[in-house]
A and B are shown apart, each in its own frame.
Chain A
Amino acid sequence: ETGVTQTPRHLVMGMTNKKSLKCEQHLGHNAMYWYKQSAKKPLELMFVYSLEERVENNSVPSRFSPECPNSSHLFLHLHTLQPEDSALYLCASSLSVRFTDTQYFGPGTRLTVL
């Protein structure tokens, strides 16, 4: 039990659909992250929020839109995705964005784009 939950765990969507991924942390942390994990590639950092403000937008296409309404919740809104966006999307949180603070990961959402 990591204290970071993600829903749904699996999602299949067409290229014209709109869907959202949800992440919730129960650790009292102030920083939250979205990562993309593709086969045969290292984890890619997508977005970082600190105290609900975005501090990193790592050249991610605009078809991915993050939202952080409070320090416990993080969303990733998806629209008009491409098949190459199929991947495991991981959420993480940490006490702050200091590099000494350990990041705790959720179980991920396995996304398949048809």
Chain B
Amino acid sequence: GDSVTQMEGPVTLSEEAFLTINCTYTATGYPSLFWYVQYPGEGLQLLLKATKADDKGSNKGFEATYRKETTSFHLEKGSVQVSDSAVYFCALSGASYKIIFGKGTRLHILP
């Protein structure tokens, strides 16, 4: 079945560092890919999405490119801030409303 694998956390970086959180997926067909973020004490928020190969999703300085050849959707940000500390979830959606989530990666940004 469809699945999402993302890097284990926690990831700890200093402010202004470059961020990469790896995500790979297994799916039949052509899924849509998402990154959700969960700030402390809150629910999940959609951060960005891409619906077809080579699409780049971007929001709040974060980017991810849908790579069909490597079945990947890595999240990147050039310069992280303390306020980016949260849990990040990679996810996919195939032909239905069912979203398959990864286990999440906790990100700590030190001032």
Given contacts A99-B97, A102-B49, contact A107 B103 (CB under 8 A): no
For the residues of A in contact with B, the DSSP-based class is loop
* Chain B min CB distance to A95 (Å): 11
> Does B20 reach chain A (CB closer than 8 Å)?
no
Which residues from chain A sit less than 8 Å from chain B, CB to CB?
Answer: 2, 4, 6, 31, 33, 40-43, 45, 48, 56, 90, 92, 94, 97-108
Known contacts: A90-B43, A105-B44, A107-B42. The answer to whether A41 contacts B97 by CB under 8 A is: no
**Given known contacts A97-B96, A100-B32, A43 and B45 CB-to-CB distance under 8 angstroms:** no
Please determine whether B101 and A97 come into contact, CB atoms closer than 8 angstroms.
Answer: no
Q: Tell me if B102 and A42 are in contact (CB < 8 A).
A: yes
A41-B103, A42-B102 as given contacts; A2 in contact with B97, CB under 8 Å: no
What is the number of contacts between chain A and chain B, taking CB atoms within 8 Å? 57
| Residues of B participating in the A interface, judged by any CB pair closer than 8 Å | 4, 32, 36, 41-46, 49, 51, 89, 93-104
Q: How far is the CA of A56 from the CA of B95 in the complex (A)?
A: 15
State the 9 A-B residue pairs at the shortest beta-carbon distance, nearest first.
Answer: A105-B43, A97-B97, A105-B44, A43-B101, A107-B43, A42-B101, A99-B93, A106-B43, A108-B43
In the complex, A56 Cα to B96 Cα: how many Å?
11
Q: Tell me if A105 and B45 are in contact (CB < 8 A).
A: yes
Residues on the B chain within 8 Å of A2, using CB: 43, 45
Give the complex CA separation of A99 and B93 in angstroms.
Answer: 6
Closest to A58 in B: B98
